[in-house]
Every structure is written in structure tokens, then in C-alpha cells.
Amino acid sequence: MLALAPGSRASELAHHAGPLLGAAARFQRELPGWQLALAVAPDASEPKLRAAAARAGLEIAWVRGAAFELFLAAEFGLVCSGTATLEAALAGLPMLIFYRGRALDAAIARRLLRVDRIGLPNLLLGGAVPVFPELHQGAVTAEALAAGALGCVRDPGRMQALRAACARIRELSPPRRTAAAVADEILDLASV
């Protein structure tokens, strides 16, 4: 199963739906045994996504409000940069991370931020090069997304490396709930 996670905001869906569904169509043509499943955010406009998928001739399982469960079940994911990438890594999902937004926003971000990667798992892992493949801005095309996904799933060594990176993310994550950890930190700071 290929998990598709286009993001939750209307602007993300506007920028990502076309390239993501185009990539899914190519992926499904080349690997017809794979099922497609799309994580739909609770407040996303599912009818627009369904209409776009129908125009592309895609058979997609629609998963609303259960992205983590989808990430657990899938073999690979095309995941929009954001918290979903961290969820996917914690679920053990090899993925390609992507993000495309307004050109002006990207230009401002390039001037303000000094990072060479956008995915939370890649930021956590550090290293000379991002472990999970990433596509940004103009590079986010249907062809590039499909080629990236197909290149990974057809390479057992690459898939194993991505699964190992997911395991490393789980090791780096605190074993208890984040809210409890934050509350403890606040109480420690307040008692000083």
C-alpha cells in the first residue's frame, strides 16, 4: 500500500493535490498490485480531492482521521512535510517528504532559515545528507514524486535503510507521552 498524505491545510491541498494524484497514477500504472490510500485531514475538503482522483482515474481508499493507522499499514508514503512526517517515521513508514507552497513564502523562508532539509525526521537525525528523500517547491512534480517513490520501493537496500531510520527516530523519541514530559519540565522550571 502507498500512503498519500497531502497535508491538512487548504493551501497545502491546493499546491499538493495535483502533483500527488499525478504521481499516484503513474505509481499505480507501474506497480498495479499496490493499493493507494489517502489520509484526509478532518477538516479537508474531501469532495474536491475525490473529484480530482476520479478525473485521474484513480482507485483510492479514503482514510479520514486515522493517518497514523494508515502509516502503520502502508509500505511506503508520499508525505507532506509537517507533523505527519514524524508520525509516519514513528509508525515505521519509509517515505518521501515533499512540500510546495507559495513562491513568495518560500523565498522569505530561504532568507530566514538556514537548514538544508524540511522533514522533521531528517532534522532529528541530522547528518551530512537527509536520510528520507525530500522534494521542495518547483521540484514537487508528479513525475519527480513518482520517480522518487518507485526508486525507493524497487530498491530493497534503500527500503531497509529507511526502516532503520524510522527505528532510530523511535529511539530518539521520549518513551512517555509528550504532554506529560512538557508538564514535568514546566513544574521543574517553576520550582527553581
Q: Tens of pLDDT along 130-164?
A: 889 998 877 889 899 999 999 999 999 999 999 99
The CATH number linked to 91 is 3.40.50.2000
Domain extent, residue 107, equals: 2-190
- Residues 52-73, mean pLDDT to the nearest whole number: 90
Nearest residue to 31 (alpha-carbon basis) of 161, 158, 153, 155: 153
Grid cell at residue 89: 517515521
Cα Rg of the chain, angstroms: 17
| Domains of the chain: total | 1
Q: What is the DSSP string of 6-42?
A: --SSHHHHHHHHHHHHHHHHHHHHH-TT--EEEEE-T
Span between the terminal Cα atoms of the chain, in Å: 51
What is this structure's pTM? Answer: 0.80
Q: Can you give the pLDDT at residue 73?
A: 96
By mean pLDDT, which of 2-16, 53-67, 160-174 is the weakest? 2-16
| 38 beta partners | 4, 62
Q: Can you give the pLDDT at residue 45?
A: 67
Residue 61 Cα to chain centre, angstroms: 17
Q: Can you give the pLDDT at residue 146?
A: 96
Contact indicator for 22, 13 with CB cutoff of 8 Å = no
